[in-house]
């Protein structure tokens, strides 16, 4: 592991119930890199995101996951967050009665391990909202309550901006977005990306990658990364789909 390596996954096997989903996945992400993981439904993409963040419904049976050189598999989700790991959910949940501003303040204080003075918090919040082009009234609304799909993803980007993670995992952030909302969210991601941060985009489709440009693209099928390449790989998949790779994988398994 080099000094700039933010995430290192080695031979990761993970199950939900009695079903093994991840079957030997390995991946490394360095500071300043954008990686995309693509794959068909059921390939293990969201399982990977949940395992990285410590969802207790998923059981790791073998392998290593290290963030900044530290073994995170023994850590609770809040400990992983304090280490700098962030997950944007595919389907963010609504929290009626809790305003965005209160939610964000509690989250920032929890990750920092100390209370940020209210004045400093407000200055930080308004600065981040300006970067993301989010109206200040947004902070007074209840978390995801009555939000459109695009607004929910904008709320995730605002959380990411406030928490300033070292490693962000975006689990199908493009899901359910029209083209205008997708462009807005992508602009937010690009505005927050910096040389000290790593980014892992999990997606079905190439369209998000038209706006957030990855240096590395990986194809996940049946719980394993079966191919890696540059951004041209995503363009190829947009044309060919996953059927050919799935067929080749099935043929090799029975050979």
pLDDT along the chain (255 residues), means of 10: 82 96 97 95 93 96 96 95 93 93 96 94 96 91 93 92 96 85 90 95 89 96 95 90 77 65
Give me the residue label for tokens 């100390």. Answer: 114
Q: pLDDT value at position 242?
A: 86
Q: DSSP character for 139?
A: G
Among residues 10, 22, 38, the alpha carbon closest in space to that of 218 is found at 38
Helix/strand/coil percent split, the chain, to 5: 40, 30, 30
CA distance 158 to 128: 7
Q: pLDDT value at position 185?
A: 87
Q: If you classify domain 5-254 with CATH, what class do you get? A: alpha beta
């Amino acid at each position: 592991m080099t000094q700039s390596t933010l995430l290192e996954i080695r031979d990761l096997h993970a199950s939900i119930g009695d079903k093994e989903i991840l079957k030997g996945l390995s991946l490394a992400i360095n500071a300043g890199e954008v990686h995309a993981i693509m794959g068909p439904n059921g390939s293990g993409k969201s399982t990977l995101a949940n395992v990285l963040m410590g969802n207790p419904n998923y059981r790791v049976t073998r392998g290593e996951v290290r963030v900044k050189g530290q073994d995170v598999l023994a850590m609770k989700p809040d400990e992983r967050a304090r280490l700098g790991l962030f997950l944007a959910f595919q389907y963010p949940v609504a929290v009626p009665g809790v305003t965005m501003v209160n939610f964000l303040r509690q989250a920032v204080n929890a990750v920092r391990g100390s209370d940020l003075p209210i004045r400093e918090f407000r200055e930080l919040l308004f600065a981040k909202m300006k970067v993301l082009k989010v109206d200040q009234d947004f902070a007074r609304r209840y978390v995801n309550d009555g939000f459109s799909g695009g607004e929910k993803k904008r709320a995730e980007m605002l959380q990411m901006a406030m928490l300033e993670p070292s490693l962000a995992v975006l689990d199908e952030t493009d899901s359910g977005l029209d083209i205008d909302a997708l462009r807005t969210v992508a602009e937010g991601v690009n505005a927050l990306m910096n040389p000290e941060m790593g980014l892992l985009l999990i997606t079905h489709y190439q369209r998000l990658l038209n706006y957030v440009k990855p240096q590395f693209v990986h194809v996940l099928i049946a719980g394993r990364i079966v191919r890696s390449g540059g951004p041209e790989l995503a363009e190829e998949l947009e044309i060919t789909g996953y059927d050919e790779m799935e067929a080749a994988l099935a043929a090799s398994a029975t050979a």
